[in-house]
Amino acid sequence: MASRVTPSTLHRFEPDAVADELTAFINESIMARTHPIGPADRLEAAGIDSMALLKILLFIEARYGFWMPDEDLIDDNLASARALANYICGRRPPA
């Protein structure tokens, strides 16, 4: 697994690369081998439940160094790996 990203370097990541990394994690850790998802596939439609979502959030915390606050756990941010990547890459380091 890649090293942890610091808040000051987070904005340097490309959303497509982050989406690919999230998709790979989801396919390797959650999805059945015969039912992989793509970056734009809706997570809920793919069968991602609350326990699987927690696993994804823990991966984000370990890899990108932050926990998504409750107010950001909305469909726009959680719809797909690409939506999560856009959220992750949109975070800016604290001033």
CA–CA separation, 20 and 40 (whole Å): 10
Q: pTM for this one?
A: 0.84
Binned average pLDDT, 10 residues per bin, the chain of 95 residues: 56 86 97 96 97 97 93 97 96 59
pLDDT in tens, 41-56: 999 999 999 999 999 9
Q: For residue 54, what are the contacts with CB-CB under 8 A and spacing of at least 6? A: none
pLDDT in the model for residue 7: 53
Which residue's structure tokens are 């926990």? Answer: 67
